[in-house]
């Protein structure tokens, strides 16, 4: 349907593992369908245990893996078959990844401002150094930093939370429509997690960016998600408005997940 920013129609991904005689099929994602509308930016959360297919879904949305069945489109274009250089460039501008470990997202020997300035030139449309600096500074200010604070600094000089914010700023330089964030707070100190999660909300509300948020963390999911799907063994076992799903889970697996985040005094970590 036109009007969808991202659309997955019965998407499946099967991997074949092992040798010629011992090969075994792994159904990483089975028959997954959902859509995010262009005119309704949202935080769409995918929760599931390890191996449930979350990262495979993220990689298919980013165009790194191709579905073995079904259709995956971004703005109506088949993500697995972007034909022209122009389509590929447009896609790379519009869809940005944020990874789990910000220290792996940057070369430890490279100064952070170089990344932002390069991205501003390559993807942000800056034509000279002054323009690149302006764009980089604007992006850093959106995440609560500035170019002056980052200039000349190496990744290890920042905390995990600060570095993740720099990674988000780098993604923002190309004015994306969709951010795919795979466990973006799991390596971040618990005290800084909420700041990153709150930042995602601001990106949605102030910049109209939709976010696919992949997490194990029900507490952050509860506080930011608009919609949520819960995956188990490649399949969706529960889907809907986040508050409804998390407040009153129907599937035994989602109930189990909720039990797992009950605080020691048996009060849910979230309440309806």
User: 69 forms bridges with which residues in the sheet?
Assistant: 12
Q: Please tell me whether residue 23 binds ligand ATP under the rule CB under 6 A.
A: no
182 half-sphere exposure, CB direction, 13 A CA radius:
17
Site stretch for ligand ATP (CB under 6 A), options 44-52, 89-97, 131-139, 168-176: 44-52
Q: Which helix (H) or strand (E) holds 117?
A: helix 112-122
Please give the size of the binding site for ligand ATP, defined by CB under 6 A.
12
As a whole number of angstroms, the distance between CA 206 and CA 12 comes to 34
Task: Identify which of residues 210 and 232 has a Cβ nearer to ligand ATP in the complex.
Answer: 232
Site stretch for ligand ATP (CB under 6 A), options 3-11, 49-57, 116-124, 130-138: 49-57
Q: How far is CA 234 from CA 38, 84, 167, 169, 262, in A?
A: 26, 32, 29, 31, 25
Q: Please tell me whether residue 24 binds ligand ATP under the rule CB under 6 A.
A: no
Shortest CB 26 distance to ligand ATP, Å? 5
> Quick one: CA dihedral 90, 215, 242, 30, positive or negative?
positive
User: 240 forms bridges with which residues in the sheet?
Assistant: 228
Q: Looking at 28, 172, 188, 229, which residue binds ligand ATP (CB under 6 A)?
A: 28
Looking at residues 54 to 83 of the shown chain, list those that interact with ligand ATP (rule: CB under 6 A). 54-56
Q: Which residues bind ligand ATP (CB under 6 A)?
A: 15, 17, 26, 28, 48, 50-56
């Amino acid at each position: 349907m036109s009007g969808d920013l991202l659309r997955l129609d019965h998407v499946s991904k099967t991997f074949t593992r092992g040798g010629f005689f011992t090969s075994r099929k792994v159904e990483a994602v089975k028959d997954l369908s959902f859509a995010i509308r262009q005119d309704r930016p949202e935080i769409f959360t995918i929760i599931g245990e390890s191996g449930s297919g979350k990262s495979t879904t993220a990689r298919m949305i980013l165009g790194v893996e191709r579905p073995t069945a079904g259709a995956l489109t971004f703005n109506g274009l088949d993500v697995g078959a972007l034909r022209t250089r122009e389509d590929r460039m447009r896609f790379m501008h519009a869809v940005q990844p944020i990874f789990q470990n910000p220290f792996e997202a940057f070369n430890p020997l490279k100064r952070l401002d170089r990344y932002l300035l390069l991205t501003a030139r390559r993807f942000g449309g800056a034509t000279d150094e002054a323009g690149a600096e302006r764009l980089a500074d604007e992006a850093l200010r959106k995440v609560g930093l500035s170019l002056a604070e980052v200039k000349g600094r190496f990744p290890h000089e920042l905390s995990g939370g600060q570095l993740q914010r720099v990674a988000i700023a780098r993604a923002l330089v190309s004015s994306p429509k969709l951010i795919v964030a795979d466990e973006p707070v799991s390596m971040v100190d618990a005290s800084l997690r909420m700041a990153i999660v709150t930042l995602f909300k601001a990106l949605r509300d102030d910049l109209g960016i939709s976010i696919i948020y992949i997490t194990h963390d029900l507490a952050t999911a509860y506080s930011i998600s608009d919609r949520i799907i819960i995956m188990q063994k490649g399949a969706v076992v529960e889907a809907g408005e986040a508050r409804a799903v998390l407040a009153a889970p129907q599937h035994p697996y989602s109930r189990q997940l909720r039990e797992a985040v009950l605080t020691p005094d048996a009060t849910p970590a979230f309440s309806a």
